[in-house]
Amino acid sequence: MKYSVIGTALILLLSACGGSKKTQDSAMITPVGPAFSVDSAYSYCEQQCQFGPRTMNSEAHDQCAQWIVGKFASFGLQVVEQKAALKGYDGTMLHSTNIIASHRPELTDRVMLCAHWDSRPWADNDPDEDNWHTPVMAANDGASGVGVMLEVARLLPDTLRVGVDFICFDAEDWGVPQWSDVPDASDSWALGAQHWAANPHVAGYKPRYGILLDMVGGQGAKFYRELYSTDYASSVVNRVWRAAQVVGFGSYFPQKDGGRITDDHVPVNEVAGIPCIDIIPYYPDCEASSFGPTWHTVNDDMQHLDRNTLQAVGQTLIQVIFSE
């Protein structure tokens, strides 16, 4: 999915990474907001997987797009589909759809949650090379982030004092496969996010901050602080990790640094100028991948999704949003 480097030199910090004063050091000392229903979120993940792998240019991809649009709309959100033809690393034209769902779109004070919803076309990190050209079901690496966002969207009241935008990025996982002779390139990943960052759905769009959810349902997952996130939006990282402590899920968000990950949040920060962090797992002792044992394998399925991990991330997000 991404290119990870551990311990590389820090890039230049942005001076405006903190957003408004409300994102700085708000006192979040008691749990607030409704209970996050993990059964509901798990069901949303399962329903995405029932379409099959949501690989670019496939029927399953198109069907799932309409299902996601319909779910957000059923919760009363305003939904926009941003369509674009994007060129993959191999020259394939990818028919991409970024899905933007807005709660209380009339408010100018906003928060952004995002995740990618497409599936990796190739299980190129599978231990069995016979599977390297098999599409990934992407229960964790795709469906989990969308599932959590849908449940958060379902719980938002009309009395919330900030607007919330949910952005489902497409064409994230068409990056150069490991078996390819083409040299890996960071810009072959996150194509939908790159397009949106240069062409936001609202001109001049500037939420307080963004939070990217990527692989937020894996078994045994721990969410270390991703280094681009701490570079660009350290105050948002602190806010989220503090919220996890408040709601009793601090063990899932250790006060430790992970890797530097090329993911959808990079163009959001560098092109759109929005301070955005990445909640992404780090498995320091996993031989298969620091992203976990199912990353880009045929085992990224519902059987390897963990309700406890979904609950930890979902309730933490509720705490963050309802503390605004």
Task: Please write the tens of the pLDDT for every residue from 211-242.
Answer: 999 999 999 999 999 999 999 999 999 999 99
Give the Cα separation of 261 and 190 in Å (integer). Answer: 11
User: Taking residues 50-73, what's their average pLDDT?
Assistant: 98
Does the structure show a pLDDT above 50 at 9? Answer: no
Torsion-angle region of 120 (φ positive above 0: left; ψ -120 to 50: alpha; else: beta): beta
The answer to whether the Cα torsion of 193, 47, 253, 259 is positive or negative is negative
Calculate the CA dihedral of residues 29, 234, 110, 195 and round it to 10 degrees.
Answer: -150
User: Taking residues 19-29, what's their average pLDDT?
Assistant: 45
User: Taking residues 125-144, what's their average pLDDT?
Assistant: 98
Tokens for 133? 């050209």
Tokens for 9? 């030199």
Helix (H/G/I), strand (E/B), else coil: 316: helix
**9 HSE (CA, 13 A, CB side):** 2
pLDDT at 29: 83
CA 116 to centroid of chain Cα atoms: 6
The neighbouring-strand residues paired with 93 are: 87
| Average pLDDT in the chain | 93
Backbone angles phi, psi at 193, to 5 degrees: -65, -40
| Cβ contact 14:232 at 8 Å | yes
Task: Please write the tens of the pLDDT for every residue from 250-287.
Answer: 999 999 999 999 999 999 999 999 999 999 999 999 99
Give the Cα separation of 242 and 205 in Å (integer). Answer: 27
pLDDT at 21: 37
pTM across the whole model: 0.92
Pick the CATH number of 4-322 from 3.40.50.2300, 3.30.360.10, 3.90.1150.10, 3.40.630.10: 3.40.630.10
